[in-house]
Amino acid sequence: MARLLVLGGTELANSFVAAVREAHPDLEIILSLAGRTRDPKLPDCEVRTGGFGGAEGLAEYLKTEGISALVDATHPYAARISANAAEAAKAALVPCLHLIRPEWNREPGDNWHMAADNEAAADILDELSSNAPLTVFLSIGRQDLASYFLLWNCAFVVRSVEPPPEEDLPPDAKLVLARGPFGEADELAFLSENAVDILVSKNSGGSATYGKIAAARRLRIPVVMVERSALPSGEVVGTVVDAVDWVAAQLR
Ligand code: NAP
């Protein structure tokens, strides 16, 4: 029987697993998670958890587990695992697809400051807070908080699914633990209740976390948008439908 390995940890991966299961009931699907989130939402399939040990470890896994095809449906900012997937698939001669949500585009009324990475985002905040203190909603997860440590004129509201280590939180940051999806109405209330002056966000794409972008537009709050790094090498699609079609083509 053909075996599909899906690299997940995203809503998109879960939707893809559900769709591919329906389209190919005989296909054996293994969903792989990094193991960062306790009690993750899971689709109905076999799940393995934890790193593979780099591209070499993943290539070894593909061979020993007899994987027929690999779909990388990790988050657009999980660059290392996507690069490892491309390299491992090439080494193991397994076809590989990257399923990546298309980026959000600027809409009329959006006031976005583009930042190449978190360091650049922190520089923008530093400049914008030079005349008056800012309350910043830092909505970038919990892994890249260190870049924002030395911004003395910024007060931070940090929201993440799991708590970051205390030493990673910027001084006096308010921590809010919550799991999306977050709708626009909820985000309007959140931004107002926390008197947020500016939002820092990744360009994650998709609808689950778009509410804060739409709410910032409504409230005329500027957004510092941390851009994606380059796409991984290899075949890339942006929708579950296209990814299911790709699987069908591999099974022919
Ligand atoms: P990363 O920096 O690209 O990967 C770091 C290491 O974690 C990889 O080298 C790999 O370890 C392991 N890993 C990552 N994803 C894995 C998976 N699906 N299955 C098995 N091992 C995995 O990734 P990250 O940014 O830390 O993200 C980790 C997980 O959280 C991913 O599943 C991603 O989809 C999800 N996520 C990330 C973000 C984000 O903003 N980065 C947001 C939402 C969800 P080895 O080298 O040992 O194989």
pLDDT tens for 143-157 read 899 999 999 999 999
Q: Is the CB of 9 under 6 A from ligand 1?
A: yes
| Cα gap 235→221, rounded to integer Å | 37
Q: How far apart are CA 135 and CA 157, in angstroms?
A: 7
Look up residue 186 and give its two tokens. 């909820």
Tell the residue nearest (CA) to atom 46 of ligand 1.
Answer: 54
Q: What is the pLDDT of residue 118?
A: 97
> How far is it, in rounded angstroms, from Cα 196 to Cα 182?
16
Answer yes or no: is the C-beta of 33 below 6 A from any ligand 1 atom: yes
126 CA to centre of ligand 1 in angstroms? 29
b/e for 104-141, b at 16 or more Cβ within 10 A?
Answer: beeeeebebbebeebeebbebbeebbeeeebbbbbbbb
d(CA 27, CA 163): 36
36 CB less than 6 Å from ligand 1? yes
Give residue 186's pLDDT. 97
* 84 ligand 1 Cβ < 6 A: yes
What is the distance in A from the centroid of ligand 1 to the CA of 12? 14
The whole-number pLDDT of residue 231 equals 84
Q: For the chain, what is the mean pLDDT? A: 96
**Binding site membership of 141 for ligand 1 (Cβ less than 6 Å):** yes
Segment 7-56, tens digit of pLDDT: 999 999 999 999 999 999 999 999 999 999 888 989 999 999 999 999 99
Which residue ranges in the chain fall short of pLDDT 50? none
Q: Whose CA is nearest to atom 30 of ligand 1?
A: 9
Q: Is any ligand 1 atom within 6 A of the Cβ of residue 75? A: yes
Backbone angles phi, psi at 90, to 5 degrees: -65, -45
| Ligand 1, atom nearest to 140 Cα | 40
Residue 117 near residue 226, CB atoms below 8 Å: yes
| Atom 12 of ligand 1, residue of closest alpha carbon | 51
Delineate the domains of the chain, giving CATH numbers in brackets.
Answer: 3-102+230-251 (3.40.50.720), 112-226 (3.40.50.720)
Q: What is the pTM of this model?
A: 0.93
Angle at the Cα of 240 from the Cα atoms of 224 and 140, rounded to 5 degrees: 20
Give the pLDDT of residue 233.
85
Give the pLDDT score at 183: 96
